[in-house]
Amino acid sequence: MDDLSPSLLKARHAILSGEPGDASLYVMLTPFLHAGELIDTAIRLDGIELPSVMLAPLAGKSFDFPVNPDDGYIDGSVYLANAHQTVDVTRLEFHRSRHDGLTVVIRGVYRLDPASLPGARDTPFTLNAAVSSSALGDSG
């Protein structure tokens, strides 16, 4: 899987789950072809310190995070080239979208391992996707 461009990683939808103070965000990526292989993967973000896992209270709010190993970091990864690649997230923004929905903007750095992805290097990114919540009683 040589020369995988991080620009191929495009968010299609995100699902927020967990509980306040320990949330998870599962970011489904748009499948893409690379080296003749269909890649269908997702970014998994765990241990997120958010005040709610319901969407309405998050609307219009932004949250900044340190990177590993500092306390409060988000444990993030994406499975590529038969390995879990590190995803450091530094900011989450929740914006209202059409039809009372919410969009999450995710900012951070892909820390792709050159051992499994030759030529890989740390790459800043910004992703955005519609977000839903698995929290019961969430109407937003």
**pTM of the full predicted structure?**
0.91
User: What is the rounded CA–CA span in Å between residue 43 and residue 29?
Assistant: 7
Listed by start position, the domains of the chain span: 6-133
* pLDDT given at position 2: 54
Cβ(114)–Cβ(120) under 8 Å?
Answer: yes
Instruction: Please give the structure tokens belonging to residue 51.
Output: 């005040």
| pLDDT tens for each residue of the chain, 140 residues long | 456 788 899 999 999 999 999 999 999 999 999 888 899 999 999 999 999 999 999 999 999 999 988 999 999 999 998 899 999 999 999 999 887 789 999 999 999 998 888 888 899 999 999 999 988 664 44
Question: pLDDT at position 140, please?
Answer: 47
The answer to whether 8 and 32 are in contact (CB under 8 A) is yes
Give the three-class secondary structure for 6.
helix
Angle at 105 between CA 127 and CA 96, to 5 degrees: 135
pLDDT of residue 137: 61
Closest CA to 27 of 46, 7, 53, 54: 46
Residue 104: the pLDDT is 98
For residues 58 and 14, give the distance between their C-alpha atoms in angstroms, rounded to a whole number.
14
Q: Which two tokens stand for residue 115?
A: 């051992």
